[in-house]
């Protein structure tokens, strides 16, 4: 598939006005397809040479793999990259009873089905927000099969800070009612006007929010509706408590790193101190300046740079260790 098909006049009426780096990213060859994982049809993208060291990417709650479609190409020259839609989100099918363990097993299953464990190098997981929590579960299940996990602005707050956030009515991002039918809108502009980020924020690159919004929606006859399945709200309630997330980050086996937006509400400089206090002194923690929670929409190229640095340092260390 030609990735430039992602540029639709509904969200980009003047494609020539989009920055050159974005066009360059979408021009990098990619494969798009579906794979069966434990009976569920999972949508994925793939870039790069399958013989190169692998990277597995996934997204936050209610988002989709295209949040990495303009990030992954910058890593594809030296890596084999897969980005996939979590079940019940994006273009992946819904998985009944999809609790935390099932999502972690699904991540391992995606890596197995697409051959990411077949070469000499182990895959690195790069995951944003809710997807990073899935990555922690995958590491708990099979840390020995992965080279490491980069957690991208996952919510890690001290319990008392989280309680205060809840008292203010901020709550857990991505909450909703699974029993309400999916909303339908008469046209794309109406649907687009309903697309918001969680937590709400302006973005540094507004065209990227337009891109994400368009690919979060689908046509339903003459109307438009969301791609995600409302059942994911019910299943999200079964996820491990966010009060324990700091301890979970530190306790999960395997190599880890954290990349966060310096202006994020969900991972803050105090979160960094908290992780260190809990014993995570060996976890690299990198702040992306002028970025909030959705850091790939605020500072995509700085985000790429941070990811590339971590992956290359880990790969160099692994290569050095294997020659000693």
Q: Phi then psi for 23, rounded to 5 degrees?
A: -60, -40
Q: How far apart are CA 7 and CA 18, in angstroms?
A: 10
> How far is residue 286's CA from residue 292's CA, in Å, rounded to a whole number?
13
Stated as kind and residue range, the H or E segment containing 42 is strand 40-47
Q: What is the pLDDT of residue 242?
A: 83
Cα(166)–Cα(120) distance, integer angstroms: 46
Q: What angle do the packed helices 130-142 and 100-113 form, to 10 degrees?
A: 70
Residue 40 bridge partners (DSSP): 37
**Rounded distance between C-alpha atoms, residue 137 and residue 156, angstroms:** 15
Residues 6+ apart with CB under 8 A from 109: 37, 38
> Could you tell me if 271 and 157 are in contact, meaning their C-beta atoms sit under 8 angstroms apart?
yes
Give pLDDT, residue 298: 98
pLDDT at 189: 97
**Residue 179: what pLDDT?**
62
How many domains would you assign to the chain? 1
Here the tokens at position 171 are 């709550």
What is the pTM (predicted TM-score) of this model? 0.95
The set of residues, in sequence order, having a beta carbon less than 8 Å from that of 245 and lying 6+ positions away, is: 133, 154, 155, 156, 157
Closest CA to 124 of 157, 66, 70, 78: 78
Its domain, for residue 58, covers 3-323
Residue 238 is predicted with a pLDDT of 47
Question: Between β-strands 30-37 and 124-128, what pairing exists: parallel, antiparallel or unpaired?
Answer: unpaired
**Size of the chain, expressed as the number of residues it contains:** 324
Looking up residue 103, the CATH number of its domain turns out to be 3.40.50.1820
Handedness of CA 255, 298, 33, 35 (dihedral sign): positive
Q: What is the pLDDT along the chain (324 residues), one digit of tens a residue?
A: 557 689 999 999 999 999 999 999 999 999 999 999 999 999 999 999 999 999 999 999 999 999 999 999 999 999 999 999 999 999 999 998 778 999 999 999 999 999 999 999 999 999 999 999 999 999 999 999 999 999 999 999 999 999 988 888 765 555 566 667 789 999 999 999 999 999 999 999 999 999 999 999 999 999 999 999 998 988 654 455 788 999 999 999 999 999 999 999 999 999 999 999 999 999 999 999 999 999 999 999 999 999 999 999 999 999 887 776
Backbone phi, psi, residue 70, to 5°: -105, 5
């Amino acid at each position: 598939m030609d990735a430039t098909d992602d540029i639709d006049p509904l969200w980009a009426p003047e494609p020539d006005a989009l920055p050159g780096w974005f066009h360059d990213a979408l021009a990098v060859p990619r494969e798009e397809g579906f794979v069966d994982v434990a009976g569920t049809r999972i949508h994925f993208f793939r870039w790069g040479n399958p013989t190169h060291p692998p990277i597995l990417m996934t997204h936050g709650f209610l988002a989709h793999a295209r949040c990495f479609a303009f990030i992954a190409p910058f890593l594809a020259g030296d890596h084999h990259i897969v980005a996939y839609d979590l079940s019940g989100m994006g273009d992946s099918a819904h998985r009944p009873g999809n609790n935390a363990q099932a999502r972690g097993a699904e991540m391992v299953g995606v890596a197995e089905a697409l051959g990411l464990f077949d070469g000499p190098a182990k895959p690195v997981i790069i995951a944003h927000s809710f997807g990073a929590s899935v990555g922690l579960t995958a590491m708990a299940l099979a840390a020995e099969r992965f080279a490491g996990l980069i957690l991208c602005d996952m919510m890690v707050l001290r319990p008392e800070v989280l309680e205060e956030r809840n008292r203010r009515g901020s709550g857990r991002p991505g909450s909703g009612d699974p029993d309400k039918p999916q909303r339908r809108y008469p046209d794309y502009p109406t649907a687009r006007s309903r697309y918001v980020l969680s937590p709400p924020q302006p973005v540094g690159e507004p065209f990227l929010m337009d891109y994400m919004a368009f690919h979060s929606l689908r046509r339903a006859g003459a109307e438009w509706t969301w791609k995600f399945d409302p059942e994911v709200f019910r299943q999200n309630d079964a996820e491990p408590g966010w009060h324990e997330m700091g301890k979970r980050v530190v306790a999960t086996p395997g190599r880890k790193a954290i990349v966060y937006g310096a202006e994020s509400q969900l991972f803050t400089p105090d979160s960094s101190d908290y992780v260190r206090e809990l014993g995570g002194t060996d976890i690299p923690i990198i702040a992306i300046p002028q970025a909030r929670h959705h850091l790939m929409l605020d500072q995509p190229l700085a985000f790429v740079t941070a990811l590339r640095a971590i992956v290359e340092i880990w790969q160099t260390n692994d290569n050095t260790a294997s020659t000693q």
